[in-house]
């Protein structure tokens, strides 16, 4: 009698990825509160497209879909403008999963953060959709909970507050607005409170590496403080720079990606410094406002070699100590 075939396992459960999803809930809630229920729909479309892309790619190999794909789908959606067209959502996340993850062999083998790969692709391919219009955030007490979207023809702005500040066209946003999230921007990263709630959960559950977070934020704050003290034109200052433009979201949720980030302590510190310094240079001295996005991808590229260098250095140090002990 022939053995019955086991049904194909559809989903690979990953507790660490579930922790990230839980940590993202405050940012998802904030996106709906400030920009309307269209934000929830964007997240749903992104996650569905991400799942289907990985599922179809794995049909032949019969490998299960990793829970990490939901994290990529959510993060990618949260770093898009509230007015993003639907085709940009789908194209970007499909590209992210295919070329940021699956071509490297799937989960655990990707060099780059998939969500950042998708964001960079649509940022370059659809510049008007990604940078030309920003809908305003709705205000307290009910926010946009009774709205599909806050975007209307007479309320859409031509640039984000941080983009206008860089051009010298406006003053720095109020710290209170940055803290609460009551400013225009990518839909899930305007509220520092929501980001910190999720970020603290990540660190408390040991899901994110706190050393990378501290090094990234600390280096960036110091660079912007120095620029402000030196009188650099349109310098936002340390607090505004760290709290604005989704920097904290990137530091907690993307720089700490367990697959694309380095594993050794020394490499993690250099990695955080690369992200921070590159972001500072790109945001202040280039035409791009998306400095953090390019910086994380750049640091991802160096993560394997950084790990190799520090592991090799540690090995040589141990060998010298062992040799010295024998000789002594």
Q: Give the per-residue pLDDT at 5.
A: 56
For the chain, which residues make up each domain, given as ranges? 11-314
Q: 1: which 2 tokens? A: 């009698």
Q: Give the per-residue pLDDT at 159.
A: 62
What average pLDDT does range 38-64 have in this prediction? 94
What average pLDDT does range 67-94 have in this prediction? 95
Q: What are the helix (H) ranges across 205-249? A: 210-229, 238-243, 247-249
Write out pLDDT tens, residues 178-215: 899 888 888 999 999 999 999 999 999 999 999 999 99
Q: Give the per-residue pLDDT at 328.
A: 47
Q: Give the per-residue pLDDT at 1.
A: 47
The mean pLDDT of the chain is: 88
Backbone angles phi, psi at 60, to 5 degrees: -70, -45
Most confident of 125-134, 162-171, 277-286, 319-328: 277-286
- CATH architecture of the domain 11-314 equals Orthogonal Bundle (1.10)
Can you spell out the DSSP letters for 15-52? HHHHHHHHHHHHHHHHHHHHH-THHHHHHHHHHHHHHH
- Stated pTM of the model: 0.90
Backbone angles phi, psi at 65, to 5 degrees: -80, 135
């Amino acid at each position: 009698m022939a053995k019955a075939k086991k049904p194909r396992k559809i989903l690979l459960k990953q507790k660490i990825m579930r922790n990230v999803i839980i940590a993202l809930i405050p940012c998802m809630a904030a996106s709906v509160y400030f920009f309307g229920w269209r934000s929830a729909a964007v997240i749903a479309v992104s996650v569905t497209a991400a799942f289907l892309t990985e599922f179809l790619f794995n049909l032949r190999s019969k490998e299960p879909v990793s829970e990490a794909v939901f994290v990529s789908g959510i993060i990618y959606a949260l770093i898009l403008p509230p007015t993003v067209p639907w085709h940009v959502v789908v194209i970007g996340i499909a590209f992210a999963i295919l070329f940021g993850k699956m071509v490297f062999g799937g989960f655990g083998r990707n060099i780059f953060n998939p969500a950042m790969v998708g964001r960079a692709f649509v940022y370059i391919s659809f510049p008007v959709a990604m940078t030309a219009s920003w809908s305003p955030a709705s205000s307290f007490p009910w926010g946009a909970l009774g709205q599909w979207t806050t975007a209307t023809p007479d309320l859409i702005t031509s640039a984000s507050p941080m983009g206008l500040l860089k051009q010298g066209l406006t003053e720095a946003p109020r710290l209170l607005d940055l803290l609460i999230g009551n400013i225009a921007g990518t839909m899930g990263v305007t509220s520092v409170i929501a980001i910190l709630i999720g970020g603290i959960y990540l660190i408390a559950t040991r899901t994110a590496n706190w050393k990378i977070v501290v090094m990234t934020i600390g280096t960036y704050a110091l660079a912007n403080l120095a620029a402000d003290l030196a009188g650099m034109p349109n310098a936002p200052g340390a607090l505004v720079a760290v709290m604005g433009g989704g920097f904290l979201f990137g530091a907690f949720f993307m720089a700490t990606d367990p697959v694309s980030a380095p594993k050794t302590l020394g490499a993690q510190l250099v990695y955080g410094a690369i992200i921070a310094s590159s972001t500072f240079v790109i945001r202040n001295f280039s035409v791009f406002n998306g400095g953090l996005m390019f910086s994380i991808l750049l640091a991802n590229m160096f993560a394997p070699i950084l790990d190799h260098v520090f592991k090799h250095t540690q090995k040589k140090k141990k060998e010298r100590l062992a040799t010295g002990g024998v000789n002594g």
